[in-house]
Amino acid sequence: MKNQELAKIFSEMSMFLKIKNVSFKPQAYEKAALNLKSLTEDVEKIYKREGKNGLKRIPGIGENIAEKIIEYLKGGKIKAYEKLKQKMPVKIQELTQIESVGPKMVAALYQHLAITNLKELEVAARQKKIRNLPNFGVKTEENILKSIMFLKRNKGRFLLGHIYSRVEEILSLLKNFKEVKKISIAGSARRMKETIGDIDILVTTENPKKVMDYFISLPEVIKIWDHGLTKSSVRMRDGFDVDLRVVKDREFGSALQYFTGSKEHNIALRKIAIEKGLKLNEYGIFKGKKRIAGKTEEEIYAALGLPYIEPEMRTNTGEIETALRQTRGKHNGLPKIINYNSIKGDLHIHSNWNGGEDFIKEIAKVAQDMGYEYIGISDHTKFLRIEHGLNEKQLLAQHKEIRKLNREYSMHNTEFRILHGCEANILEDGTLDINDKVLSQLDYVIAGVHSQMKMPKKQMTERIIRAMRNPNVDIISHPTGRLIKRRDEYAIDFDKILEVAKETNIALEINSFPDRLDLKDTNIKKAVEQGVKLIINTDSHSINHLGFIKFGIGQARRGWATKKDIINTWPLKKIKKFFEKKV
DNA sequence: GCCGTTTTCGGCCCGACTGTTTTCAGTCG
């Protein structure tokens, strides 16, 4: 799929054009890049099927950019891009990652100091060469160095799941501070993005000074960047930054909307405001000088003639158009996406029978406390030696133990139940490492790829499809195999996988583990559109991981999945039937 | 360069902050 490559090229072209002070084209290229990035369908497929006109139907892509896409699909290059790069052979994306460095600064750095990449920028900053450039100064130089250091240390962004609990602690401390009235998290963390740059928190208070003083004196704060009455900014011990903003009560909704983003979503909303003769900013919606909304987000959306849009959906990738159609009564409108309390059981949990840490009984206890109606134990199987995978004999012994536990629940009139499954390995040829006779005795079977991930696309797709056609298999775990920031997804034909999943009634997993989040949002959206069933699991190897489920749910919400799409929102009876293939 | 229930020209999102050039360009969200 060449969508991402093209997105990167157009985004770079946008920056090069900004350098040349070309007006309006940069925005056009940026928009094209963004839309390509979030496009669920393979742009090459669209072209093959519908030709240039198909491409032009993609928002933000017209005659010229369509031509450039075709040029790239045919020859792997875009002349206009090569030309721009030739004039200024800099790694523009790498350099503009630096806080406060944009296209214009990149140009100045190149023209005066011949800086083309991050390394050269760092050397020049250390040699104090940057401060002498026109329009630059000591402070800018220092900030560039600081930002490079930060980037090096953290590679820019944090996995949401790695810092979420820290953020919740900060929120709860602030919430309990008596001067704080309203409080909410904002930014990408509120939208439950996979990775986040920093944390934004909004509060209202009668006494900004006391709140800000309290905030910057929190025990985990190691550095104070800003300390004002409307905005303070700090670095926490774990390495991430938190911005706290104090806003007026009547502006809380508009500020929350504004600071939650995404930027693209907000731009689209402001355009709607203009069409209606209104002005939208972080202080409210205004008709002339008169404020007509601002206290709540619902009010903001209503004033624009829109239904409330959930934060996870605010990406400007179709949610506004869909919502607009809803208000005009021409469409089903926005789906009612799954809630954070809708999951009835987690079916991908490892116990201490294989590599996991905890006894099944303890896991079940925690799950009951979480309000689950059932769980499923799905340990690794024998091919995975490193995880102490179970063989047939051990699986049957485990089955006995689980039956015993269920009998105990039944004797105590507890409705909670433990299902018994396993996470079998899909071997090179698509067969599983546990024989069918044993698999058929389990309540359900998860199959997943854990080896030879670099197969060619065709072979890998056939391998997984063969496993899906095994009548004992019910779920495919982490279907694309990606690890965020560490490993790309393996080459598969996801459309084919979806087709077969639909045909065989197999659920694809949304794995909630912070660095997996596999399927990702665009895949989820596709699966939902195709009517393929999904399941949100944690892949817990410890009871401490069970709470990761919220990241999987966030992922599902970003993919517009509803309760009916997710099989583990169903009651036990129904999910059992699904596993018996009777649904 | 894109886009169009004010369609094939003439528009294109808004405000704050930062550093520095003492009036504003560049960047960010």
In a domain, A494, yes or no: yes
Any domain includes A75: yes
Within 10 angstroms of residue A340's Cβ, the number of other Cβ atoms is 11
For residue A582, pLDDT over 70 is answered with no
Q: Residue A29 CA to nucleotide B8 C1', Å?
A: 21
Per-residue model confidence (pLDDT) at position A509 = 96
Assess whether A29 (CB) lies less than 7 A from strand B.
Answer: yes
Q: Which residue is nearest to nucleotide B13 (CA to C1')?
A: A267
Contact between A32 and A52 (Cβ < 8 Å): no
A421-471: pLDDT as tens digits: 999 999 989 999 999 999 999 999 999 998 888 788 899 999 999 999 999
Nucleic strand B within 7 A of Cβ A544: no
| Domain CATH code at residue A42 | 1.10.150.110
Q: Are residues A144 and A168 in the same domain?
A: no
Whole-number Cα distances in Å, A150 to A99, A102, A155, A518: 10, 17, 8, 28
Residues 180-199 of A with CB under 7 A from strand B: 187, 197
A96 Cβ nearer than 7 Å to chain B strand? yes
Domain assignment present for residue A337? The answer is: no
Is the four-CA dihedral A383, A384, A386, A392 of positive or negative sign? negative
Q: How far, in Å, is the CA of A330 from the C1' of nucleotide B5?
A: 15
Same domain (yes/no): A235, A259: no
Peptide bond connecting A262 to the previous residue in cis, omega within 30 degrees of 0 = yes
End-of-domain residue from the set A217, A246, A275: A246
**CATH number, residue A193:** 3.30.460.10
Q: Residue type for A342, please? A: S
Q: What is the pLDDT, as a whole number, of residue A332?
A: 63
Same domain as A86, residue A16: yes
Global pTM value: 0.81
Q: Please check whether residue A396 lies inside any domain of the structure.
A: yes
State the nucleotide closest to A108 in CA–C1' terms. Answer: B26
User: Nearest nt to A186, CA vs C1'?
Assistant: B29
Closest nucleotide relative to residue A65's CA, C1' based:
B1
A332 occurs within a structural domain: no
The pLDDT of residue A557 is: 96
Q: Note whether A268 and A171 are same-domain residues.
A: no
Query: Does A449 lie in the same domain as A549?
Result: yes
Verify that A240 and A367 share a domain, yes or no.
Answer: no
Residue A208 belongs to what domain range? 158-246
In Å, what is the separation between the CA of A80 and the C1' of B24? 32
d(CA A379, CA A219): 40
pLDDT for res A496: 94
Residues A314 and A459 occupy one common structural domain = no
pLDDT at A172 over 80: yes
| Pair A255, A125 in one domain | no
- Kindly report the bases of strand B lying within 7 A of a protein C-beta atom: 1-3, 11-15, 17-21, 25-29
Computed over every residue of chain A, the mean pLDDT equals 89
Residue A15 lies in a domain: yes
Does residue A135 lie within 7 Å of nucleic acid chain B, judged by its CB? yes
Assign A240 a pLDDT band (cuts: 50, 70, 90). confident
Confirm whether any atom of chain B, the nucleic acid strand, is less than 7 Å from CB of A207.
no
Q: What is the pLDDT of residues A197-220, one digit of tens each?
A: 889 999 999 888 889 989 988 988
Nucleotide in closest CA–C1' contact with A107: B26
Nucleotide at minimal C1' distance from the A17 CA: B1
What is the spatial distance between Cα A504 and Cα A495, in angstroms, rounded to a whole number?
14
Closest nucleotide C1' to the C-alpha of A230: B16
Assess whether A267 (CB) lies less than 7 A from strand B.
Answer: yes
- Identify whether the C-beta of residue A442 lies closer than 8 Å to the C-beta of residue A395: yes
| pLDDT tens sequence across A262-318 | 888 998 999 899 888 898 999 999 988 888 989 999 999 999 989 999 999 999 888
CA of A329 to C1' of B11 (A): 29
Q: Does the C-beta of A25 come within 7 A of strand B?
A: yes
* Weakest mean pLDDT among A208-217, A250-259, A379-388: A379-388
Which chain A residues 219-248 have CB under 7 A to strand B? 226, 230-231
List the beta bridge partners of residue A203. A183, A246
A65 touches strand B (CB under 7 A): yes
Alpha-carbon distance values, A476 to A465, A480, A531 (Å): 10, 10, 16
Q: Which of A327, A361, A391 is the last residue of a domain?
A: A327
Dihedral (CA of A413, A537, A358, A159) sign: negative
Q: How many domains does chain A have?
A: 4
Closest nucleotide to A64, Cα to C1': B1
What pLDDT is stored for residue A583 in this prediction? 46
Which of residues A515 and A154 earns the better pLDDT score? A515
CA-to-CA distance for A285 and A95, rounded, in angstroms?
A: 36
A205 DSSP β-pair partners:
A180
Pick out the nucleotide with least CA–C1' distance to A233: B17
Contact A19, A26 (CB under 8 A): no
Residues A402 and A546 in one domain: yes
Q: What percent of chain A has pLDDT over 90?
A: 55
CA atoms of A413 and A419, how far apart (whole Å): 17
Most confident of A320-329, A395-404, A479-488: A395-404
Residues 477-496 of A with CB under 7 A from strand B: none
Asked if residue A576 keeps its beta carbon closer than 7 A to nucleic acid strand B, the reply is: no
Give domain status of residue A426, yes or no. yes
CATH number, domain with residue A571: 3.20.20.140
The CATH number that applies at residue A318 is: 3.30.210.10
Q: Give the H or E element holding residue A517.
A: none
* Distance from residue A265's CA to nucleotide B12's C1', rounded to whole Å: 16
Q: Are residues A399 and A480 in the same domain?
A: yes
User: What gap in Å lies between CA A333 and CA A328, rounded to an integer?
Assistant: 9
Contact A243, A233 (CB under 8 A): yes
Sheet arrangement for strand A374-380: A345-349, A374-380, A417-425, A446-448, A475-476, A507-511, A534-537
Residues A537 and A485 in one domain: yes
Residue A164 maps to a domain: yes
Per-residue pLDDT reduced to its tens digit, A343-368: 999 999 998 887 666 788 999 999 99
- Segment A520-532 shows an average pLDDT of 93
Of the three residues A154, A188, A212, the one that is the final residue of a domain is: A154
pLDDT band for position A376 (50/70/90)? very high
Q: Are residues A148 and A170 both part of a single domain?
A: no
